[in-house]
């Protein structure tokens, strides 16, 4: 009985310390609910889960002689099922202005033959949401099973685009069969 009280006390103490140390969740941009009350291990949650979900694969993007970013794909199961939920983490190896990231997003969609009536609007929203990137920065994109998406910059939520069509098109740059970078895709989805 005494042991049970001690274990309960220790559990409560650890929970209190963990809650006190957890950073507040801030929202910026889209009005998406990035609630801290939902477990990030749940597939429908829009919470950063790269520390909880298993890694599917990793890949480094190199363009000519330049290393651009290291990418990692995470899913609740640790394997690629061909659809959401997933989280894609990009750790940048060089400085890149936000406008260049938006330009590269548009370029990738054009290479894939993607066209959507709201595409220009999405690009404008991304340009307003994304910060300029410095070497070592981390940008994470999450897409849940409901088609909702969100972004985190260096572990902090920065918003998302509230259009269910956006998430699949954006994630498809890396994960669709017609990805502009097929070798990178193979590594990310664990085919190598």
Q: Is 159 left (phi over 0), alpha (psi -120 to 50) or beta?
A: left
Tens digits of per-residue pLDDT, 123-148?
999 999 999 999 999 999 999 999 99
Classify residue 147 by burial, with Cβ atoms within 10 Å: 0-12, 13-18, 19+: middle
DSSP codes joined into one string, 16-85: HHHHHHSPPP---SS-----SSS-TTSTT--S--TTTSPEEEEEEEEETTEEEEEEEEE-SSSS--SSSS
- Mean pLDDT, the chain, whole residue set: 83
Domains of the chain: 27-188 (3.50.70.10)
Does residue 2 have a pLDDT over 50?
Answer: no
User: Is residue 13 over pLDDT 90?
Assistant: no
């Amino acid at each position: 009985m005494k042991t049970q009280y001690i274990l309960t006390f220790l559990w409560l103490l650890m929970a209190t310390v963990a809650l006190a140390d957890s950073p507040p969740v801030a929202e910026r941009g889209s009005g998406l609910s990035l609630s801290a009350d939902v477990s990030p291990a749940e597939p429908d949650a829009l919470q950063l889960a790269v520390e909880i979900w298993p890694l599917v694969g990793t890949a480094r993007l190199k363009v000519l002689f330049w290393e651009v970013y290291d990418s990692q794909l995470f899913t609740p199961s640790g394997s690629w099922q061909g659809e959401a939920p997933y989280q894609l983490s990009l750790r940048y190896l060089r400085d890149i202005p936000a406008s260049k990231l938006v330009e590269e997003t548009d370029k990738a969609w054009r290479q894939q033959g993607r066209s959507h009536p709201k595409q220009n609007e999405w690009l404008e929203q991304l340009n307003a949401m994304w910060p300029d990137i410095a070497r070592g920065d981390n940008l994470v994109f999450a897409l849940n099973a409901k088609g909702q998406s969100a972004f985190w910059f260096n572990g902090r939520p920065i918003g998302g685009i509230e259009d269910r069509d956006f998430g699949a098109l954006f994630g498809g740059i890396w994960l669709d069969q017609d990805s502009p970078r097929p070798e990178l895709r193979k590594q990310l989805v664990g085919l190598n």
